Amino acid sequence: MKGQPKLIAEKIAALLREWPCVDSIITGHLLSGDFSDPYYFLSLDVYVSGALPDSEERKKNLGFGAAFESSISKDKDRLLIDEIPVRIEYKPMDRVNVLLDFTDGREDFLARLRGTGTYVFYKIINSDVFYDRGGWIAGLRKKLKNMPASFWEALRSSYQSRMEHCLSDLGAAAMRSDELFFLISSSNFLQCVCSVLFAVNKRFEPSFRLFSEQVKALPVLPESFAGRFDTLLRTNVDFPQARKYGIAELLAKSLLSL
């Protein structure tokens, strides 16, 4: 990160690090360097241990920004700084430590990841670090870069099971000509396909905004992947659901054989 976004991140980090509860501050790389890109925003993950100042106090500290708003859950703030959208998310350190605990059994570990996927790990690995009080982020990075083969195998197995379930839903929706459920099942299926491939390649999952770009660039992909994947993304009404389901079947089988 460089230029104006970096200066803004440094300014915010300098303020937040003064709060006793703040342990680490990281920011993921910008999704685009183009300010006009609708995907463009600056995000900061603030890892905390202890009580967080309330939203009014945070608003006062970040008063140099405009259009400040806090989420109902009070763990996310949004504001504009020099017309750049900024998102700040406050995350308990314990939550990440628990997610990374691979010692209490495979099923418990996978259950914890079911709602989050591995995006939180992706951000920790690929972020710019603006504050790391006790070296916690550095320790996490070392651990994440050396995850055992059993981690990736369990992750792949879990995602493959979900993929097969979504494929079954897709087939049922095609048989019933249920357009809405077909669309939902198709979306879930494609997400699982990508997640399986990231696990096969021992990569953590990026933001959904980057799935399509990064999955096609993975070194290990099944034969004819790009063509089948792009076909399933087509929204042409003249393309029958049954035919799409057939292509999804081929795609799923090709992943299982990797």
CATH number of 198's domain: 1.20.120
Instruction: Please indicate, yes or no, whether residues 153 and 80 belong to a single structural domain of this protein.
Output: no
Question: What is the number of H-type helices and E-type strands within the chain?
Answer: 11, 6
What confidence tier does 29 reach under pLDDT thresholds 50, 70, 90? low
Measure the CA–CA gap between 199 and 153, rounded to whole angstroms. 8
- Pair type for strands 42-48 and 84-92: parallel
Name the domain boundary from 144, 174, 197.
144
pTM exceeds 0.85, yes or no? yes
pLDDT in tens, 131-179: 999 999 999 999 999 988 988 998 999 999 999 999 999 999 999 999 9
Measure the CA–CA gap between 131 and 49, rounded to whole angstroms. 14
What confidence tier does 236 reach under pLDDT thresholds 50, 70, 90? confident
Name the domain boundary from 144, 161, 185.
144
Instruction: Please indicate, yes or no, whether residues 180 and 80 belong to a single structural domain of this protein.
Output: no
Name the domain boundary from 88, 109, 144.
144
CA–CA distances in Å: residue 213 to residues 56, 187, 194, 207, 208: 39, 16, 11, 11, 10
What is the DSSP annotation of 132-195?
A: ETTSHHHHHHHHHTT--HHHHHHHHHHHHHHHHHHHHHHHHHHHHT-HHHHHHHHHHHHHHHHH
Instruction: Please indicate, yes or no, whether residues 97 and 168 belong to a single structural domain of this protein.
Output: no
CATH number of 92's domain: 3.30.460.10
Instruction: Please indicate, yes or no, whether residues 210 and 156 belong to a single structural domain of this protein.
Output: yes
pLDDT in tens, 102-143: 655 566 777 777 777 899 999 999 989 999 999 999 999 999
Structural domain count, the chain: 2
Domain that holds residue 242: 149-256
Instruction: Please indicate, yes or no, whether residues 96 and 184 belong to a single structural domain of this protein.
Output: no
Whether the per-residue pLDDT at 83 is higher than 60: the answer is yes
> Residue 95: what pLDDT?
87
pLDDT in tens, 45-81: 999 998 899 888 888 888 787 888 888 777 899 999 8
Instruction: Please indicate, yes or no, whether residues 137 and 201 belong to a single structural domain of this protein.
Output: no
> Residue 3: what pLDDT?
73
Instruction: Please indicate, yes or no, whether residues 124 and 23 belong to a single structural domain of this protein.
Output: yes
Side chain identity at 26, as an amino acid letter? I
